[in-house]
Amino acid sequence: MISYEGLIQILKDRNLTKTDLSAHLGISSATIAKISKGEQLSKATLQKIADYLNCDTHSLCRKVSENAVLQILRDEKTAKISGGLYHELQVRMTYNSNHIEGSKLSEEQTRLIFETNTIDAGDGVPVDDILETVHHFRAIDYVIDVAEEELSEEIIKRLHYILKHDTKDAQLPWFAVGDYKKHANVVGGRDTAKPKDVPAQMRDLLQRYNAKQPITIHDVIAFHAEFEQIHPFQDGNGRVGRLVALKECLRHNIIPFIIEDSKKLFYYRGLMEWHSEKGWLTDTCLDGQDTFVRLLDMLEIPYGR
């Protein structure tokens, strides 16, 4: 749904009505009715109204989600509110997701980067750890922006690009930033999908997943497990996979989960044994959902399971 409260307020301040817009701009009554119904206007129409009112299109309207958690994240992101859900999600998910993959940055250092755009790096912190921390912040922003879109290869590849561009891996001629892997890789001694098979396997996975209705937390966990089994990228699969899970929880009004670094051994075991025992990964992700619930409770944000 679209809220036109910004447009309504600007019209009120200037002693104008929606009928005046129709008269001055030649906008049809059907288009004016969309404003009252909270329906999306075309970009051209929005720009025409913005030009007439001498403002930008973002001042006129905003998306309003039925998912209260997603709406809070969007509002706090736009308003740059400190100390709220958006702030804590950025710090906590980025720290834990990167630390699971071997980052040497502490949670305090991660928080410092997000809050002040500075870093007291200490000894031996790789530059890539810092870059990938900043990139992960931007990847969460992207997830919030596209949360309600159907999951696609384009979104998944874009997340990989956001995470890995400008890193030392991106300088390697064979490392495909923002695209599927070119060389076979092994994870924990286990073979993953061969590069030539990745596109077909990813399309099949997405087709099966997007066809499900309704999608539950168990479907999101299953997608995550199968995604990691394919391991479609040369590196960064874990972080991309967890960001995709965040996006899909927000899309389907499911409480997201944050896998804490302290639970990574249970998480790895769950991924490795997924085909023989689904309960281990499921329990770890549900524990991560409880972590998110505690964050909501701490911030006194109402939610529904």
pTM metric for this prediction: 0.85
Instruction: Kindly report, residue by residue over 230-269, the tens digit of the pLDDT.
Output: 999 999 999 999 999 999 999 999 999 999 999 999 999 9
**What whole-number distance in Å separates Cα of residue 230 and Cα of residue 31?**
46
Please give the distance of CA 67 from its chain centroid, rounded to a whole number: 14
The two structure tokens encoding residue 165: 């561009």
One CATH from 3.30.70.20, 3.40.50.720, 3.30.70.920, 1.10.260.40 for 2-63:
1.10.260.40
Amino acid letter, 49:
I
The predicted pLDDT at position 123 comes to 65
Q: What is the rounded CA–CA span in Å between residue 240 and residue 245?
A: 9
Kindly give the parts of the chain with pLDDT less than 70. Answer: 121-124, 304-305
Query: Tokens 């929005």 label which residue?
Result: 46
State whether residue 45 is helix, strand or coil: helix
CATH class label, 68-298: mainly alpha
| Domain segments of the chain as ranges | 2-63, 68-298
Give the helix ranges, DSSP H, for the chain. Answer: 5-13, 18-25, 29-37, 43-53, 68-79, 85-100, 107-116, 127-146, 153-164, 198-210, 217-230, 237-251, 264-272, 278-298
pLDDT score, position 83 = 95
Confidence at residue 62, expressed as pLDDT on a 0 to 100 scale: 82
Question: Do residues 2 and 74 lie in contact, with contact meaning Cβ atoms separated by under 8 Å?
Answer: no
172 Cβ contact partners less than 8 Å away, ≥ 6 residues apart: none
**End-to-end alpha carbon distance in the chain:** 22
pLDDT confidence of residue 66 = 86
What's residue 189's pLDDT? 82
**pLDDT digit string, tens, across residues 98-111:** 999 999 999 999 99
Backbone phi and psi for residue 187, each to the nearest 5 degrees, phi listed first: -125, 120
**Full DSSP string of 70-115:** HHHHHHHHHHT-SSSHHHHHHHHHHHHHHHHTT----HHHHHHHHH
Res 122: pLDDT: 67
CA-CA distance, 117 to 119, in Å (whole number)?
7
The answer to whether the beta carbons of residues 126 and 104 sit under 8 Å apart is yes
